[in-house]
Amino acid sequence: MAQTNFERYLENEVLHADPVKLVAILYRAASESVSAARRHLAAGEIRERSRQISKAWEIVAHLLTTLDLEKGGVIARQLAPLYTYMQQRLIEANSLQIDPPLAEVERLLGTISEAWQSVPPIVTATVTYDAQVADEEYAPVSCSF
Protein backbone atom coordinates (compact mmCIF):
# COMPACT_ATOMS: atom_id res chain seq x y z
CA MET A 1 0.00 0.00 0.00
CA ALA A 2 1.50 3.29 -1.09
CA GLN A 3 1.93 5.98 1.50
CA THR A 4 1.87 9.70 0.90
CA ASN A 5 4.71 11.86 2.10
CA PHE A 6 2.46 13.13 4.88
CA GLU A 7 1.63 9.58 6.04
CA ARG A 8 5.34 8.69 6.11
CA TYR A 9 6.08 11.89 8.04
CA LEU A 10 3.31 11.20 10.55
CA GLU A 11 4.40 7.60 11.02
CA ASN A 12 7.97 8.74 11.64
CA GLU A 13 6.78 11.44 14.06
CA VAL A 14 4.77 8.93 16.10
CA LEU A 15 7.45 6.24 16.13
CA HIS A 16 10.09 8.65 17.41
CA ALA A 17 7.98 10.66 19.86
CA ASP A 18 8.31 10.61 23.62
CA PRO A 19 5.11 10.10 25.68
CA VAL A 20 4.51 13.84 26.08
CA LYS A 21 4.73 14.34 22.31
CA LEU A 22 2.41 11.38 21.70
CA VAL A 23 -0.30 12.97 23.82
CA ALA A 24 0.15 16.25 21.94
CA ILE A 25 -0.25 14.33 18.67
CA LEU A 26 -3.50 12.79 19.95
CA TYR A 27 -4.88 16.22 20.88
CA ARG A 28 -3.94 17.53 17.45
CA ALA A 29 -5.59 14.56 15.70
CA ALA A 30 -8.78 14.89 17.75
CA SER A 31 -8.96 18.61 17.06
CA GLU A 32 -8.40 18.07 13.34
CA SER A 33 -11.17 15.46 13.29
CA VAL A 34 -13.61 17.79 15.02
CA SER A 35 -12.71 20.59 12.62
CA ALA A 36 -13.25 18.26 9.66
CA ALA A 37 -16.58 17.13 11.14
CA ARG A 38 -17.69 20.75 11.33
CA ARG A 39 -16.80 21.29 7.67
CA HIS A 40 -18.65 18.11 6.65
CA LEU A 41 -21.66 19.13 8.73
CA ALA A 42 -21.81 22.50 6.99
CA ALA A 43 -21.53 20.78 3.60
CA GLY A 44 -24.26 18.25 4.43
CA GLU A 45 -21.84 15.32 4.10
CA ILE A 46 -23.42 13.00 6.66
CA ARG A 47 -21.17 9.95 6.29
CA GLU A 48 -17.93 11.93 6.51
CA ARG A 49 -19.23 14.05 9.39
CA SER A 50 -20.12 10.92 11.31
CA ARG A 51 -16.79 9.27 10.50
CA GLN A 52 -14.81 12.27 11.76
CA ILE A 53 -16.89 12.57 14.94
CA SER A 54 -16.37 8.86 15.60
CA LYS A 55 -12.63 9.27 15.10
CA ALA A 56 -12.52 12.20 17.56
CA TRP A 57 -14.62 10.20 20.05
CA GLU A 58 -12.20 7.26 19.83
CA ILE A 59 -9.18 9.49 20.40
CA VAL A 60 -10.79 11.08 23.45
CA ALA A 61 -11.73 7.59 24.68
CA HIS A 62 -8.09 6.56 24.36
CA LEU A 63 -6.98 9.64 26.29
CA LEU A 64 -9.53 8.79 28.99
CA THR A 65 -8.58 5.13 29.33
CA THR A 66 -4.87 5.90 29.53
CA LEU A 67 -5.19 8.38 32.39
CA ASP A 68 -3.31 7.22 35.47
CA LEU A 69 -5.60 8.42 38.24
CA GLU A 70 -3.19 7.35 41.00
CA LYS A 71 -0.05 9.00 39.67
CA GLY A 72 -1.83 11.74 37.76
CA GLY A 73 -3.24 13.32 40.88
CA VAL A 74 -5.66 16.22 40.65
CA ILE A 75 -5.07 16.89 36.97
CA ALA A 76 -5.93 13.33 35.93
CA ARG A 77 -9.02 13.36 38.17
CA GLN A 78 -10.14 16.61 36.53
CA LEU A 79 -9.41 15.45 32.99
CA ALA A 80 -11.44 12.24 33.33
CA PRO A 81 -14.86 13.92 33.62
CA LEU A 82 -13.86 16.51 31.01
CA TYR A 83 -13.03 13.76 28.52
CA THR A 84 -16.35 12.05 29.30
CA TYR A 85 -18.16 15.35 28.79
CA MET A 86 -16.47 15.87 25.42
CA GLN A 87 -17.52 12.38 24.36
CA GLN A 88 -21.12 13.15 25.31
CA ARG A 89 -21.03 16.40 23.33
CA LEU A 90 -19.62 14.58 20.29
CA ILE A 91 -22.46 12.05 20.45
CA GLU A 92 -24.95 14.89 20.79
CA ALA A 93 -23.49 16.69 17.78
CA ASN A 94 -23.64 13.54 15.70
CA SER A 95 -27.14 12.47 16.66
CA LEU A 96 -28.70 15.94 16.43
CA GLN A 97 -26.52 17.03 13.50
CA ILE A 98 -25.71 20.39 15.10
CA ASP A 99 -22.54 22.46 15.26
CA PRO A 100 -22.48 24.02 18.78
CA PRO A 101 -21.31 20.85 20.57
CA LEU A 102 -18.56 20.41 17.96
CA ALA A 103 -17.47 24.01 18.38
CA GLU A 104 -17.35 23.53 22.15
CA VAL A 105 -15.29 20.33 21.93
CA GLU A 106 -12.94 22.00 19.48
CA ARG A 107 -12.40 24.88 21.95
CA LEU A 108 -11.87 22.49 24.87
CA LEU A 109 -9.35 20.42 22.92
CA GLY A 110 -7.54 23.60 21.91
CA THR A 111 -7.33 24.80 25.50
CA ILE A 112 -6.06 21.46 26.81
CA SER A 113 -3.64 21.12 23.92
CA GLU A 114 -2.28 24.59 24.57
CA ALA A 115 -1.68 23.72 28.22
CA TRP A 116 -0.09 20.41 27.21
CA GLN A 117 2.40 22.28 25.03
CA SER A 118 3.89 23.79 28.19
CA VAL A 119 4.85 20.33 29.49
CA PRO A 120 8.57 19.85 28.88
CA PRO A 121 9.52 16.92 26.66
CA ILE A 122 10.95 13.87 28.31
CA VAL A 123 14.68 13.85 27.79
CA THR A 124 16.29 10.47 27.35
CA ALA A 125 19.96 9.90 27.88
CA THR A 126 22.26 6.98 27.25
CA VAL A 127 23.16 5.39 30.56
CA THR A 128 25.39 2.48 31.39
CA TYR A 129 23.47 -0.37 32.97
CA ASP A 130 23.99 -1.09 36.66
CA ALA A 131 21.40 -3.62 37.88
CA GLN A 132 21.45 -2.49 41.51
CA VAL A 133 21.07 1.21 40.64
CA ALA A 134 18.45 0.43 38.00
CA ASP A 135 16.28 -1.42 40.53
CA GLU A 136 16.51 1.43 43.04
CA GLU A 137 15.82 4.23 40.55
CA TYR A 138 13.14 2.59 38.41
CA ALA A 139 10.00 4.64 38.03
CA PRO A 140 7.54 3.95 35.18
CA VAL A 141 6.89 6.78 32.75
CA SER A 142 3.34 8.05 32.56
CA CYS A 143 1.67 10.48 30.19
CA SER A 144 -0.80 11.44 32.89
CA PHE A 145 -0.29 14.19 35.41
User: Exposed/middle/buried for 32, CB within 10 Å: 0-12, 13-18, 19+?
Assistant: middle
Half-sphere exposure of 114 (CA within 13 A, CB side): 6
pLDDT in tens, 23-72: 888 999 999 999 999 999 999 999 999 999 999 999 999 999 999 888 88
CA nearest neighbour of 37 among 59, 25, 24, 55: 55
Cα–chain center distance at 29 = 7
CA nearest neighbour of 56 among 93, 90, 19, 13: 90
Q: Is the pTM of this model over 0.85?
A: no
> Which CATH number applies to 5-137: 3.40.50.720, 1.20.120.340, 1.10.3720.10, 3.20.20.20?
1.20.120.340
